[in-house]
Structure 1
Amino acid sequence: MAYTLAAPVVHEEIIQKSRFIAKAAPVASEEEALAFLQAHREPQATHNGYAYKLGNLYRFFDDGEPTGTAGKPILHAIQAQGLDRVVVLVVRYFGGVKLGAGGLVRAYGGVAAEALRRASKVPLMEWEEVRFVVPFPQVGRVHRLLASRSWTALEEYLAEGVRFHLRLPAEEKEAFLQELRDLTRGQVRWEG
């Protein structure tokens, strides 16, 4: 199961006189990731390297550091911790000591990884929507089933019964649908 961050996090380290500040946050879309980067970059800093991952979509940027020494290590830190829907920006203020390619990889990746380690994480849930109609005599049973799982559904009253529109965790969909079929004795009509 993949995880995302519960809340934004910031972590700062001084490495060979350079100041590295990692800023990470959960994001739901590429637009949200880009907005976070725009809002949190520090133009006065020497470099603003970043990476983000949203499912199969990922991007990274070195911002003037040698190729592969900033963005890629940040992305690796995200992937190594099994995270998704996450953006990480690492800001560097140059301190006068050159770190070399290996030192930069360790610094950017290490600061990003430490920020992510310190962050609270939550399971990343995929959601699905289902719509179904049950006759009026079965409505009470459906209400009890939904209440047992602490779920709520939108309801629409029709001539033949009630249409339920429900958003549920994808991993629980099949078990719920089977239980609903059993509970209503097959008197359920699926609408998608």
Structure 2
Amino acid sequence: MLERYKTVRQFGSKEIVIKKSRFIGYAKPVKTEAEALEFIEEIKKKHWNATHNCSAYMIGERDEIQKASDDGEPSGTAGKPILEVMKNQGLKDVAIVVTRYFGGIMLGAGGLIRAYTDGAVAAIEGAEAIVNVLHQQVFVEVDYTWLGKLENELRNRDTRMGDTTFTDKVTLVCLPVASQSESFMAWMTDLTQGQAAIRKGDLVYYIEGQ
């Protein structure tokens, strides 16, 4: 799993007008090619009367799946520029559709490339670019006498936390960045003088800065 990657937060859209043509950019986070294709078809159905619904998507940790469609625009003037925007912004697991309603003014090949580039940028703005960072769940089970000290130390360290469970002992769910999990566990062992039961849980992505 990647330690961090950039994607979009949610489905979103934004419209721009270039020389009387309407360009509506849509973006959505997707995990599979099937999800990407389903999203593209949804937009095509929504805008069945549009002049073009051009699209691109990139999926996979190493961008294994990359596809683009000009949907009737001159070859290389729509789908490829959309894909290039994703590459330039370092996005992963994203599908984008830029819908065009022709306004009567021809844009030419260079104009189309710029327009679909701007449409893709608008789509990403509408869906909000974020960075996902991989965290490691670490369960720390201790006697109640340790709770105040650990909460204070974890707060000072600005450690991301999950829910705390209270039974005959207290279990803290700590969420250090995955690459720092081993040093975190060693620190926690030292902090509790070896009296804590510490184990790893799942690897989970969280949005950077939140």
Aligned to 1:86: 94
1:21 to 2:24 alignment: yes
Task: Describe the SS at the equivalent of 1:108.
Answer: helix
Mapping for residues 10-89 of structure 1, pairs under 5 Å: 10-15=14-19, 17-25=20-28, 27=29, 29-30=31-32, 33-41=36-44, 42-54=47-59, 55=61, 56=63, 57-89=65-97
Quickly say closer, same or farther: Cα 1:130–1:9, change in 2 above 3 A: same
1:176 to 2:184 alignment: yes
- Displacement, 1:53? 3.2
CA distance in 1, matches of 2:53, 2:90: 23
- Displacement, 1:48? 0.9
Aligned to 1:155: 165
CA distance in 2, matches of 1:39, 1:10: 16
Q: State the aligned residue count.
A: 188
CA distance in 2, matches of 1:58, 1:182: 47
Which of 103, 115, 118 is residue 110 of structure 1 equivalent to?
Answer: 118
- Displacement, 1:77? 1.0
**What are the superposed Cα offsets for residues 101-147 of structure 1, whole Å, 9 maximum, x if unpaired?**
44432221232224436775433222332334445554443343444
Q: What TM-score does the superposition give when structure 1 sets the normalisation length? A: 0.71
Q: What TM-score does the superposition give when structure 2 sets the normalisation length? A: 0.66
Aligned to 1:187: 195
Cα root mean square deviation, aligned? 3.5
Quickly say closer, same or farther: Cα 1:35–1:157, change in 2 above 3 A: farther
Q: Indicate the percent of aligned positions where both proteins have the same amino acid.
A: 35
The amino acid of 2:57's aligned partner reads: Y
Quickly say closer, same or farther: Cα 1:76–1:164, change in 2 above 3 A: same
Task: Describe the SS at the equivalent of 1:87.
Answer: strand
Quickly say closer, same or farther: Cα 1:147–1:72, change in 2 above 3 A: same
The amino acid of 1:40's aligned partner reads: I
Structure 2 gap ranges (5+): 201-210
The amino acid of 2:92's aligned partner reads: D
Aligned to 1:131: 139
